[in-house]
Amino acid sequence: MSPVPPATPLRRAPVQRRSAERLTRILDACADLLDEVGYDALSTRAVALRAGVPIGSVYRFFGNKRAMADALAQRNLERYAERVTERLENSADGGWRAAVDAVLDEYLEMKRTAPGFSLVDFGNQIPLGRRHTGPNHRVADRLVDLLSGPVRREPDDDLRRTFLIAVETADTLVQLAFRVDPRGDEKIIEETRELLRAYLGRVLD
């Protein structure tokens, strides 16, 4: 199974610190406005105003608002991977079950607290209602790399396929949990946790 290449939504990558800081402000403004007005009402001009940058600065990085949302999704994935990595490094070795709990718990925390995350998460919800497989392939590949230690198994195509199925399943069930309850229905989340443990236990125990 070939890994999906990472998304590259930027027209131009920032080189200087000032440019990188401006890009951060643009993406922060995009995330805040997604929560406030939604994707349909989002505009590059509104993002520029919120970020306090000229509209030309937005277009220096992005051709349109979709590219901006894609970049936000990519940043979400990078931050998610950092949070999972930090949690795994700071916790005692609890085996693959504790690692999978960390993966799910960090996703739920971002779902509840990260600006704009409820609409774009890792890039598979815009246009609204449409979901495609690319981001989940990237998430699965990243998790295989992160968890190869806790699962005590070298990554291979079979393991990547297993994690892709787990990610796709968890993704669907977590979306259901947040449709039932804006904070995430706890019973559905616990059922999701048990399902992941049972499924992954078939190949990781």
What the chain holds in terms of domains, given with CATH numbers, is 13-63 (1.10.10.60), 74-202 (1.10.357.10)
DSSP structural state of residue 137:
H
HEC string of 72-115 equals: HHHHHHHHHHHHHHHHHHHCCCCHHHHHHHHHHHHHHHHHHHCC
At 69-119, the pLDDT tens digits run 989 998 998 899 889 888 888 776 778 888 889 889 999 999 999 999 988
At 41-56, the pLDDT tens digits run 999 999 999 999 999 9
At 118-139, the pLDDT tens digits run 888 887 555 544 454 567 777 8
Find all residues with CB under 8 Å of 42, minimum gap 6, and list them: 30, 33, 34, 65, 69
Least confident of 15-24, 32-41, 121-130: 121-130
> Cα–Cα distance between 80 and 74 in angstroms, integer?
10
Nearest to 107 by CA among 26, 196, 27, 36: 196
Q: Are the CB atoms for 58 and 47 separated by under 8 Å?
A: yes
pLDDT of amino acid 204: 82
> Cα–Cα distance between 62 and 11 in angstroms, integer?
6
DSSP string, 22-91: HHHHHHHHHHHHHHHHTTTT--HHHHHHHHTS-HHHHHHH-SSHHHHHHHHHHHHHHHHHHHHHHHHHHS
75 C-beta neighbours (distance < 10 Å), count: 20
159 C-beta neighbours (distance < 10 Å), count: 19
Which residue has tokens 């977590």?
174
Looking at per-residue pLDDT, the higher value among 73 and 2 belongs to 73
Find all residues with CB under 8 Å of 27, minimum gap 6, and list them: 68, 71, 72, 75
